[in-house]
């Protein structure tokens, strides 16, 4: 999709790179992330109003340190270097970077020495978030210092003629309270951006783009009932109406009443063409006796493709396009960065379907972050219980049952999970948590109920807070709420006599157990 204005973020391996792009979009300017070695030719084609050079884990003086094309500094486009990005100015313009006598991680007080442009409207002393082991010991030629901290005499620099700015701290994180204002100053005062990017403008552009691409062709969409596919289905229906056909496959691994809700919402409320397929028996028969997590995933993925292909052939096509809810983080993670960032995963939204079935892809959300999709869902009138729903893994409850998957285990887990979610909503905690679920453990333990001894299943409650799922902290649910959840599960569900709470963060643990 074309954008009248954009800002480019060049990634040098920072854990905060996605956050930079998100903050810029929150300020109303469309932003894109590309690897540090992105060619000058591509940059010129984008016509960005400005470029932000991200932080990174390396030191600029290391032998294999990532460096952009030197021509980047001669383009005349305003530049903001964050942390490692600041070091690049020193490297390019005869400054000097040394390993700092004291490493700085965490909060620090920044003293502003010049309140023009970048620091306009910022307090004389402001709290910022540091994360560096290096510091500038000599100013780059043509630059002047505009802020300092106790540990870093040169903490922010400016070259007014070239419109280049560098900061040693991270303005994009919430721990830098005035960071958004600093980014705003760069975007609007330095770059002259107008701020015309919004969810509403995206919907308008996306609908036009979909209609222009599709023409009179038919589009097929796999509707899982998750946030991304739900919002995608409604957007497509608004754009092309009856040319869209959705298929919802109930794999028997869904949350309680999930498939019923999908059918009711999309067929009855939005009047979307929807084929419902109950493939529970097929999935469970193929999963019988399988305990290894990766094997489960592969079986579920292949079975989905088999059934989806079979159903597509039955429908009145032909279908030229397949719509997928691929998000921007999926696209970023699928790009192989040479140097500081490694490929975390290769993303296939609907496991190999395009190659197998010769579809052309429509992915309207491939430029969007999750929170932007939620905003669009709200604007499109998608029910709040769907828009605000916690992420759910593709293999569903199969990867929340440690061990083999059976109908009995699924039923038990589904009920326990439903109790957990009910109580989080009742306590007004659900929307404060990124993801919450129950895991059925492959162990039994001794318990007592009434006068009798029990030997039943144990379950683990998992709840985390996160921004994007890349890192996560365990949610500190009040003890009385946890106690009530535990009591309900053990009292109401025959077969569970022990409830534990997972207090692991990511890293070192993952959010899901499998």
Catalytic residues: 83, 170, 172
Q: Is the dihedral of CA 128, 133, 139, 143 positive or negative?
A: negative
How many Å apart are CA 284 and CA 6, to the nearest integer?
Answer: 48
CA–CA gap between residue 23 and residue 21 (Å, rounded): 6
Burial of 508 (C-beta count, 10 Å sphere; 0-12/13-18/19+)? exposed
Tokens found for residue 84 = 């490692």
Strand-pair category, 125-138 with 218-222: unpaired
Q: Give dist(CA 11, CA 34) in Å, integer.
A: 6
> Residue 391 corresponds to which tokens in the numbers above?
């992420």
Joined together, the tokens standing for residue 40 give 């000058």
- How far from 135 is each of 168, 199, 463, 513, CA to CA, in Å? 8, 39, 38, 40
CA 402 to chain centre: 26
Q: Cβ of 459: how many Cβ atoms within 10 Å?
A: 25
The Cα diameter of the chain in Å comes to 83
- Return d(Cα 87, Cα 360) in angstroms, integer: 44
The number of residues in the chain equals 514
- The CA radius of gyration of the chain, in Å to the nearest whole number, is 26
The set of residues, in sequence order, having a beta carbon less than 8 Å from that of 124 and lying 6+ positions away, is 111, 112
* Cβ atoms of 454 and 497 closer than 8 Å: yes
Tokens read off for 443: 């162990």
**Rounded to an integer, what distance in angstroms lies between the CA atom of residue 513 and that of residue 402?**
8
Distance from C-alpha of 79 to C-alpha of 72, rounded to nearest angstrom? 9
List the beta strands (DSSP E) in 391-451: 435-449
Contact by Cβ (8 Å): 40, 71: yes
Give helix 227-240 / helix 370-379 axis angle, nearest 10°. 50
Q: What are phi and psi of 52, to 5 degrees?
A: -110, 130
């Amino acid at each position: 999709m074309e954008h009248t204005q954009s800002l480019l973020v060049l990634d040098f391996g920072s854990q905060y790179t996605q956050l930079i792009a998100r903050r810029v979009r929150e300020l109303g300017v469309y932003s894109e992330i590309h690897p540090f070695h992105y060619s000058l030719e591509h940059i010129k084609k984008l016509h960005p109003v400005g470029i932000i050079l991200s932080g990174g884990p390396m030191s600029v003086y290391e032998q294999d340190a990532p460096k952009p094309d030197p021509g980047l500094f001669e383009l005349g486009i305003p530049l903001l270097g964050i942390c490692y990005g600041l070091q690049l100015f020193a490297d390019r313009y005869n400054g000097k970077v040394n390993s700092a006598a004291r490493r700085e991680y965490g909060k620090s007080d920044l003293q502003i020495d010049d309140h023009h442009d970048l620091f306009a409207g910022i307090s004389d002393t402001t709290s910022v978030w540091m994360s560096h082991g290096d510091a500038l010991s000599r100013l780059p030629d043509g630059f002047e210092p505009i802020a300092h901290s106790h540990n870093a005499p040169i903490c922010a620099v400016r070259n007014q003629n070239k419109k280049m700015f560098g900061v040693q701290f991270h303005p994009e994180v919430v721990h830098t309270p005035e960071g958004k204002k600093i980014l705003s100053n760069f975007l609007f005062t330095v770059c002259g951006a107008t701020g015309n990017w919004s969810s509403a403008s995206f919907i308008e552009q996306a609908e036009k783009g979909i209609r222009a691409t599709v023409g009179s062709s038919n589009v097929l969409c796999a509707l899982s009932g998750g946030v991304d596919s739900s919002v995608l289905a409604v957007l497509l229906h608004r754009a092309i109406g009856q040319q869209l056909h959705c298929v919802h496959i109930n794999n028997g691994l869904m949350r309680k009443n999930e498939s019923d809700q999908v059918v009711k919402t999309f067929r009855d409320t939005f009047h979307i063409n929807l084929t419902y397929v109950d493939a529970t028996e097929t999935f469970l028969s193929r999963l019988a006796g399988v305990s290894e997590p990766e094997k489960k995933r592969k079986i579920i993925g292949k079975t989905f493709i088999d059934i989806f292909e079979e159903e597509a052939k039955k429908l009145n096509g032909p279908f030229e396009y397949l719509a997928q809810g691929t998000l921007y983080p999926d696209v970023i993670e699928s790009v192989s960065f040479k140097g500081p960032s490694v490929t975390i995963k290769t993303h296939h939204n609907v496991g190999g379907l395009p190659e197998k079935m010769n579809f052309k892809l429509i992915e309207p959300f491939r430029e969007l972050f999750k929170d932007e999709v939620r905003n669009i869902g709200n604007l499109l009138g998608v029910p709040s219980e769907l828009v605000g729903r916690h992420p759910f893994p593709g293999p569903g409850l199969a990867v929340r049952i440690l061990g083999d998957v059976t109908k009995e285990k699924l039923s038990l887990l589904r009920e326990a999970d439903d109790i957990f979610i009910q109580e989080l909503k009742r306590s007004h905690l659900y929307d404060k948590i990124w993801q919450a679920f129950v895991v059925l453990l492959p162990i039994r333990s001794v318990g007592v109920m009434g006068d009798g001894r029990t030997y039943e299943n144990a379950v683990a409650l998992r709840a985390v807070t996160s921004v994007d799922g890349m890192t996560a902290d365990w949610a500190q649910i009040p003890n009385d709420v946890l106690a009530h959840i535990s009591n309900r599960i053990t009292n109401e569900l025959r077969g569970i006599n022990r409830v534990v709470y997972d207090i692991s963060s990511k890293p070192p643990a993952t959010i899901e157990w499998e």
